[in-house]
Amino acid sequence: MRDHLLSLQRWRPTALTSWRTPDALEVPGVPVREARERALAARVRSRLPERVAGSLEDRQERQLRSALRALRPDVLHAHFGTDAAVVGPVAAELGIPLVVTWHGYDATLHDEALASSTSGRLLLERRAQLLASAAGTIAVSGFIAAELARKGADPGAIDVIACGVDTERVVWTPPPATGGLLFVGRLVEKKGLADLLDALAGLASPPPLTVVGDGPLRERLEQRARDQRVDARFLGTRTSDEVRAAMREAQAVVIPSRRAANGDCEGLPVVSLEAAASGRPVIAYAHSGLVESVLDGTTGLLAPEGDVAALAAAVEEVGADADLRAAFGLAAREHAVRSFDIRVTTARIEQVYDRARAAGAS
């Protein structure tokens, strides 16, 4: 989302958020507005019972309404269906065309899993209306578009536009002779790191693995690696520059993402685009948008989702053949530049904005 804001050419963006975190990503040159009540009003309201002060949902809508009236945007772009569910009624009330990007879990979680959270219940309540009335519906992959269609969206009204990667900033280098494998991602079920550890444990001479990322499963996965005698370094969260440096040192990037028990899926992992732009082969499961970012047998290898033995075989094949790694790396870079450069994807998003504004004015 940061790169999207910074890459717009014809449209002038303002970011609207409910809160900022101390380590928030910077978006230089882009105004960031917070949809919050003034401090005094918030203090007064916080001391009132909810039946008088209104529900959290009511307060969010009131704050958004005030902020949007002040901003008067031509188009409102909500990232994630859960956020669109919050802002949708306000946009409709103020006559602001709404564009929604669906990224992954918001389109794939089972309904019972959505119903377990406040934001999920609101999305369930308003999803049909969002899919029917949004001025623009963007899915980050064909897989997500198909999920939305199964939930009632008109397939012809969905634009499939990946998040994109700045291929001019990502430096291409040939895969090194040594360096092992790299995994980048949050340590949660759908990222599939447990499968990768199992795959490596089954190899006679497994390559070393560097793990970048953190999450609730970290302690369990570190113990699993120790129990299986897998040479895995867990580095925790790292900056974008540090991730790119780790890619330069790796022979290949492995993305064993799979559907979680609650239905959670990837949309299209941006790490697969960054790896391709870096000239790194990707070894992955044939899951979600990975079948679009990884050309099986051309830019990397795809194993059937959940097939640990096939994943291990792919790791072994790529690790044993330097010429194959080099060929995959070159083709991956070309694929990233041609299909996923941020300037290409952002230009397509701006076309969605153009249509949304025109429809709103008619």
Q: What fold, for 181-340?
A: Rossmann fold (3.40.50)
Instruction: Indicate if 181-340 has the same CATH topology as 2-164+342-361.
Output: yes
For residues 175, 180, 185 and 191, what is the CA-based torsion angle, rounded to 10 degrees?
Answer: 110
Residue pLDDT tens, the chain, 362 long: 888 999 999 999 999 988 777 666 678 889 989 886 544 444 444 454 545 444 666 778 889 999 999 999 999 999 999 999 999 999 999 999 999 999 999 999 999 999 999 999 999 999 999 999 999 999 999 999 999 999 999 999 999 999 999 999 999 999 999 999 999 999 999 999 999 999 999 999 999 999 999 999 999 999 999 999 999 999 999 998 999 999 999 999 999 999 999 999 999 999 999 999 999 999 999 999 999 999 999 999 999 999 999 999 999 999 999 999 999 999 999 999 999 999 999 999 999 999 999 998 77
Burial 343-355 (b: 16+ CB within 10 A, else e): ebbbbebeebbee
CA 127 to chain centre: 20
Q: Domain extents for the chain?
A: 2-164+342-361, 181-340
Per DSSP, helices labelled H in 257-341 are: 270-278, 290-293, 308-320, 322-340
Strand partners, 227: none
CATH topology for the 2-164+342-361 domain: Rossmann fold (3.40.50)
pLDDT score of 250: 98
Q: What is the pLDDT of residue 26?
A: 74
Helix axes 270-278, 322-340, angle to 10 degrees: 120
For residue 294, give Cα distances in angstroms to 3, 83, 102, 112.
21, 29, 21, 32
